[in-house]
Amino acid sequence: MENRFKEFLPPISVFTAGLLIGIFVKLPINDVETIAVYWLYILLGVIGVVVGISFRDLIKTAIKGIKNGLILTTSVIIGDIIAGFLISFILRQGLNYSLAISLGSGWYSLVGPFVSFYNPYYGVIGFIANLLREAYTLSLFPLIYSFFGVPSIAMGGATTMDTTLGIIIRYSGIENSSSALLQGLIITIILPFILPFIMIIH
């Protein structure tokens, strides 16, 4: 439990530091947005490296997991879209923000800053919601897997290629590693391209 807490401490600390700077320093919003844009470029570059490494790992694992990985990926995307529509309808929130946040698939370091470009309020919600998705996967996957088996991997979303892969392999077995890796890999690749289109929805 202590190790899991340490995983969430850095992003929460950085977010809190940024919040305090925004409140007390009052930096020009244009300068902040410029920095954020360049940081996203760097982040996408790093993700490209991670994707390349993960792809090599994927080839080395059993190919039989590819089918399950594609099914899991499809279920994640469909489930997130349904959730976005339901949240928008029930809470009377903008459909574009609801979809962007729900499709974040646990990738809080992308969704939070990206949505903040359009609305800081929803950016905070996107950050927290997707951080919690990763936290819930790390905490609840063993229990959920005991009831639902392999489909439980879908709860990890994009995180199944990195942060939650360890817990998934530990409780579901090494034979499911390629499925989890492929799910996270595909979502990580397509998400930066999907989010900009979602934000033009009215």
Taking the CB of residue 198, how many other CB atoms lie within 10 A of it? 19
Across 30-34, 152-156, 174-178, which has the greatest mean pLDDT?
152-156
Structure tokens at 30: 């244009």
**Amino acid letter for position 27:** L
Q: Evaluate whether residue 59 is within a structural domain.
A: yes
Q: Is residue 139 pLDDT above 60, yes or no? A: yes
Say if CB 180 and CB 61 are below 8 A apart: no
Residue (of 134, 132, 112, 133) closest to 123 by Cα position: 112
- Domain carrying residue 177: 33-198
Q: Evaluate whether residue 142 is within a structural domain.
A: yes
Rounded to an integer, what is the distance from CA 161 to the centroid of its chain?
11
Q: Evaluate whether residue 165 is within a structural domain.
A: yes
Residue 40 CA to residue 36 CA, distance in Å, equals 6
Q: Evaluate whether residue 2 is within a structural domain.
A: no
Q: Evaluate whether residue 20 is within a structural domain.
A: no
Q: Evaluate whether residue 1 is within a structural domain.
A: no
- Residue of 55 and 199 predicted with greater confidence: 199
Q: Evaluate whether residue 13 is within a structural domain.
A: no
Residue 185 CA to residue 29 CA, distance in Å, equals 33
Q: Is residue 5 pLDDT above 60, yes or no? A: no
Q: Evaluate whether residue 8 is within a structural domain.
A: no
- For residue 88, the model assigns a pLDDT of 92
Residue 120 CA to residue 27 CA, distance in Å, equals 15
Q: What is the pTM of this model?
A: 0.71
Taking the CB of residue 161, how many other CB atoms lie within 10 A of it? 26
- For residue 54, the model assigns a pLDDT of 62
Number of domains in the chain: 1
- For residue 40, the model assigns a pLDDT of 67
Taking the CB of residue 18, how many other CB atoms lie within 10 A of it? 13
